[in-house]
Amino acid sequence: RPLLLVCATERALDTALESISATEPRLLRMGARSPRDRLRGFTLRSRLAVEQGSDESHVRAWRSLSKQQRALRDRIEALAAGIQQSEPTADDLDEVADTSQIMSLCSDAPGGWHDTDDALHKWLEPVRALAARRRS
């Protein structure tokens, strides 16, 4: 017959479960991991491992796959962020243009000099407009 035991603290729960575990082997402890060795077999994780017939090699393989999955997810997110950059930046311009070309791009402002990012943005406006017309 199921019994739900709720305690105010993890310590109180562990104390109660230790006394019950002597007569009831089918306990399931929910909550934070217990520091008591006697209750380790009653956690949800350990019960699932027993039910699934899991052994240590299975657990190691699962952890390895989880780590690989996280690494792949991080790599995919990095690639997606790179794809989302649709326009060149001032850093890109620094890699392909020399100083005189950048100065020429930034010097056409009526009131003085453009910031490199602003100049690049202004210079690309007709290109963006043409691309938008072609998409429509």
Question: What does the pLDDT look like over 105-123, one tens digit per residue?
Answer: 888 666 677 788 888 888 7
Question: What does the pLDDT look like over 60-71, one tens digit per residue?
Answer: 787 888 899 999
- Please classify residue 106 by burial: count the beta carbons closer than 10 Å to its beta carbon, then call 0-12 exposed, 13-18 middle and 19+ buried: buried
Q: How far apart are CA 78 and CA 113, in angstroms?
A: 34
Question: What does the pLDDT look like over 18-60, one tens digit per residue?
Answer: 898 888 878 888 877 788 888 888 887 777 777 666 567 777 7
Report CA 107 to chain centroid distance, whole Å: 43
pTM above 0.75, yes or no: no
* Kind and range of the H or E run holding 75: helix 56-84
